[in-house]
Structure 1
Amino acid sequence: METRYTSEFLALKKPILVTGANRSGTTWVGNILARSPHIKYIPEIFNPSSGLLRGHPATRFWFHHITEDPEELYRPMLNKIIKGKYPFINIFRFMDAKKRFSYKGVRSRFKLFLNSYINHEGRYRFLIKDPIALFSTEWLSKEFNIDILITIRHPAAFVYSIKRVNWRFDVDNFLKQRTLMEDYLYPFESKLRKIKEKKMDIIEEASTLWTCFYHVVNLYRENHPEWIFKKHEDLSLNPIDEFQQICMRLNIPFSINLQKAIKEFCSSNNPTEAPEKIIHQLKRNSRENISIWKKRLSQNEIHRIRNIVDRYSANFYSPAEW
């Protein structure tokens, strides 16, 4: 069975994009799937601070909305990256999006540079894990024939995760993208301007950002039944079955390595929560982790979150899931 899947899998050679909102489990999902011996993992190419494309016009904004490329600004470089051909200058570009000298991400980019020499025989499919690509997903799918997997996370869990690491967001990254606002985010413009004017606390801000992300994801779900949409909670509760379904949809062999990785990343022996100041703790007690927000957020905070997101979260979560 695995041999047949392996030959079909490699014959396809379609890249895979794992995306969704930040803090929605894309790193966790991407790292598990990357345990397949036939997958090469590429992290956050659109990250303006540390991605392969930093300093490139594609990373002018966080969550850049690319819809067309008449001047061929994006397509040539992305085509190389998706095929595992990483130009030296991109691997070792030391200037970030704000033209500041930075060593951030050099180790992971060096690994990618080495991988670019390994892949020329077409032995691998590339998996791009990039929540920052979310608003460009339709264009990427159309231009590069990419398989799409989008993760969805409960709004209260998302807000708690943002609060825990105290991430504030410069909403000019949305407001200054005219096409993004016109295509998708016009219902949220007044709220985004309140964030810009610092009239929202982190609970309101993160809740508003969730509505922006998952309003778009819901539109994707309506327009692209061929894409895969997975709730973080379903993956956490039933990881073996859910990841097996993903592998079948993506034609990835459900190998022993993958099954071991799932058990390793989701074990009840793992900590439920990441230590303080640790952004990513990939190996968690996945079953317990999904409800940690109920213990860490106050009832007032949960009520406020629900009031902001309810119109949009109802597309994904029932009242019983609150």
Structure 2
Amino acid sequence: MSDAVRSRPIVVTGCPRSGTTWVGSTVGASSEVLYLYEPFNDGAPHHLDVPERYLYVAPDSPAHAVPDMSALIGMGGLGGRARATARGIRLGRRFRSELPAHLALHEVVRSPASALTARRTLVKDPLAFFAAEWLEARFDALVVMMVRHPAGMISSYLKLGWPCEVDSLLRQDGLRERFTEPLAVEIERYHEEPDDRLGGLILQWKIFAHAAARLREEHPEWLYMSHENVCEEPVPQFRALFEYLGLRWTPALERKVVADSTASQVDPARHQQHALQRDSRTLAAAWRARLSEADADRIENEAGPLWEQLSALAWEPRQRLPQAG
């Protein structure tokens, strides 16, 4: 693989609650990358100034469409990190006022080795889903897109007490016009029945699923992974992912994947937002213990056929990898 591919930034994104943290943290354990955790997430301690969660950024938007993004991508190189770190030191106690400086100092403290050896940026963020095309077009990013069974996402939202986010998606004209036309009937019903929380979450999953299917057609060079496949065969999935990204796969990384995917799961009905150690083979279907039979049946009836189409597009270890560039 060429040095040009090995220096390209990486974006790990996907449908909400689809395993991006597990995949991103594993890739982020490589000393070859600078791991930026959810810069689009206003709930993160350091983040971009964006007007919406799951911000849609048109592919032809200029590089400055999201302020500070160019600087963050540039931190993948040693020179960019050195400049941002120096800037943070000069700012002193005010270093948190500038995102690149804040993140540079944070990474120096969190992972001194990677701060010296990284040669590319890794952006792990499900909220970058509708900005992934722009990140590829403007910054030559390699994109990894995660998908998950609708009941897995929905049961996770219910257990975490998270609200439906359909309104934020539909407020964005570009997103709505590009990705939601097949869902006009469901969207009308959503507006007519605002108290139907389960219906809203089903619609939310379907918006992401339709968008992922369309992006799969338009960007076959991206790597599409399903939460279920990663849970079932974590080592082959991660080994091939590292090959696609042009990163070294090491015995230490393999041990990490095994440790993270074989931990005992005490109670699948309990739920932690970012638990990194799990019994991965039982996790994929843990939603069956979280949902009532009626809710599970409704999700299957309303979203099951679309999931069958979407899951068929996800890469499996026995398939040939798409070209990285």
Alignment TM-score > 0.5, same fold:
yes
Percentage of matched positions with identical amino acids: 26
Looking at structure 2, the residues matched to 71 and 251 of structure 1 have their Cα atoms a distance apart, in angstroms, of 27
- Asked if structure 1 preserves the Cα contact closer than 8 Å seen for 2:31 and 2:114, the reply is no
Aligned residue number for residue 295 of structure 2: 301
Q: 2:74 aligns with which of 50, 67, 83?
A: 83
Structure 1: state its 5+ residue gaps: 96-106
- 2:295 paired with 1:280: no
Per the alignment, in what secondary structure is the counterpart of residue 302 of structure 2? Answer: helix
Q: Shift of the alpha carbon at 1:122?
A: 6.6
Q: 1:234 aligns with which of 229, 232, 242?
A: 229
- Asked if structure 1 preserves the Cα contact closer than 8 Å seen for 2:36 and 2:122, the reply is yes
Alignment of 1:263-274 (within 5 A): 263-269=258-264, 271=266, 273=268
Please identify, of 290-299 and 140-149, the stretch whose mean Cα deviation from structure 2 is larger.
Answer: 290-299
Q: Which amino acid is 2:39 matched to? A: I
Q: Which amino acid is 2:280 matched to? A: S
Q: Shift of the alpha carbon at 1:25?
A: 0.4
- Asked if structure 1 preserves the Cα contact closer than 8 Å seen for 2:60 and 2:137, the reply is no
Aligned residue number for residue 62 of structure 1: 53
Q: Which amino acid is 1:260 matched to? A: R
Aligned residue number for residue 96 of structure 2: 92
Looking at structure 1, the residues matched to 59 and 229 of structure 2 have their Cα atoms a distance apart, in angstroms, of 34
Per the alignment, in what secondary structure is the counterpart of residue 58 of structure 2? Answer: coil
Per the alignment, in what secondary structure is the counterpart of residue 68 of structure 2? Answer: helix
- 2:209 paired with 1:214: yes
Q: Taking structure 1 as reference, are residues 109 and 288 closer, same or farther at Cα in structure 2, changes over 3 Å only?
A: farther
- Asked if structure 2 preserves the Cα contact closer than 8 Å seen for 1:171 and 1:192, the reply is no
Looking at structure 2, the residues matched to 243 and 39 of structure 1 have their Cα atoms a distance apart, in angstroms, of 15
- Asked if structure 2 preserves the Cα contact closer than 8 Å seen for 1:24 and 1:232, the reply is yes
Aligned residue number for residue 99 of structure 1: none
Q: 1:138 aligns with which of 133, 158, 173?
A: 133
Q: Which amino acid is 1:238 matched to? A: E
Per the alignment, in what secondary structure is the counterpart of residue 145 of structure 2? Answer: strand
Looking at structure 1, the residues matched to 24 and 204 of structure 2 have their Cα atoms a distance apart, in angstroms, of 22
Q: Which amino acid is 1:45 matched to? A: P
Q: Shift of the alpha carbon at 1:211?
A: 0.4
Looking at structure 2, the residues matched to 10 and 117 of structure 1 have their Cα atoms a distance apart, in angstroms, of 25
TM-score (structure 1 length as normaliser) = 0.80
Alignment of 1:161-240 (within 5 A): 161-189=156-184, 191-192=186-187, 195=190, 199-240=194-235
Please identify, of 179-188 and 130-139, the stretch whose mean Cα deviation from structure 2 is larger.
Answer: 179-188
TM-score (structure 2 length as normaliser) = 0.80
Per the alignment, in what secondary structure is the counterpart of residue 39 of structure 2? Answer: coil
Please identify, of 291-300 and 70-79, the stretch whose mean Cα deviation from structure 2 is larger.
Answer: 70-79
- Asked if structure 1 preserves the Cα contact closer than 8 Å seen for 2:108 and 2:115, the reply is no
Aligned residue number for residue 315 of structure 2: none
- Asked if structure 1 preserves the Cα contact closer than 8 Å seen for 2:60 and 2:134, the reply is no
Q: 1:15 aligns with which of 6, 9, 20?
A: 9
Please identify, of 30-39 and 184-193, the stretch whose mean Cα deviation from structure 2 is larger.
Answer: 184-193
Deviations 1:24-52 (A, max 9, x none): 10001111111212122101111133364
Q: Taking structure 1 as reference, are residues 115 and 193 closer, same or farther at Cα in structure 2, changes over 3 Å only?
A: farther
Q: Shift of the alpha carbon at 1:83?
A: 1.8
Looking at structure 2, the residues matched to 116 and 177 of structure 1 have their Cα atoms a distance apart, in angstroms, of 37
Deviations 1:121-142 (A, max 9, x none): 7743221101001011111111
Q: Which amino acid is 2:122 matched to? A: L
Q: Which amino acid is 1:306 matched to? A: E
Q: Which amino acid is 2:255 matched to? A: K
Structure 2: state its 5+ residue gaps: 313-325
Looking at structure 1, the residues matched to 114 and 30 of structure 2 have their Cα atoms a distance apart, in angstroms, of 15
The number of equivalent residue pairs is 298
Q: 2:239 aligns with which of 244, 248, 273?
A: 244
Deviations 1:10-33 (A, max 9, x none): 872111100001211000111111
- Asked if structure 1 preserves the Cα contact closer than 8 Å seen for 2:145 and 2:224, the reply is yes
Please identify, of 43-52 and 241-250, the stretch whose mean Cα deviation from structure 2 is larger.
Answer: 43-52
Looking at structure 2, the residues matched to 91 and 15 of structure 1 have their Cα atoms a distance apart, in angstroms, of 24
Q: Shift of the alpha carbon at 1:215?
A: 0.6
Q: Shift of the alpha carbon at 1:234?
A: 0.8
Alignment of 1:305-320 (within 5 A): 305-317=299-311
Q: Which amino acid is 2:96 matched to? A: F
Q: Shift of the alpha carbon at 1:294?
A: 1.7
- 2:132 paired with 1:154: no
Q: 1:25 aligns with which of 19, 22, 44?
A: 19
Q: Which amino acid is 1:207 matched to? A: I
Aligned residue number for residue 317 of structure 2: none
Q: Which amino acid is 2:252 matched to? A: N
Per the alignment, in what secondary structure is the counterpart of residue 314 of structure 1? Answer: helix
Please identify, of 197-206 and 107-116, the stretch whose mean Cα deviation from structure 2 is larger.
Answer: 107-116
Q: Taking structure 1 as reference, are residues 34 and 68 closer, same or farther at Cα in structure 2, changes over 3 Å only?
A: closer
Q: Which amino acid is 2:287 matched to? A: W
Aligned residue number for residue 249 of structure 2: 254
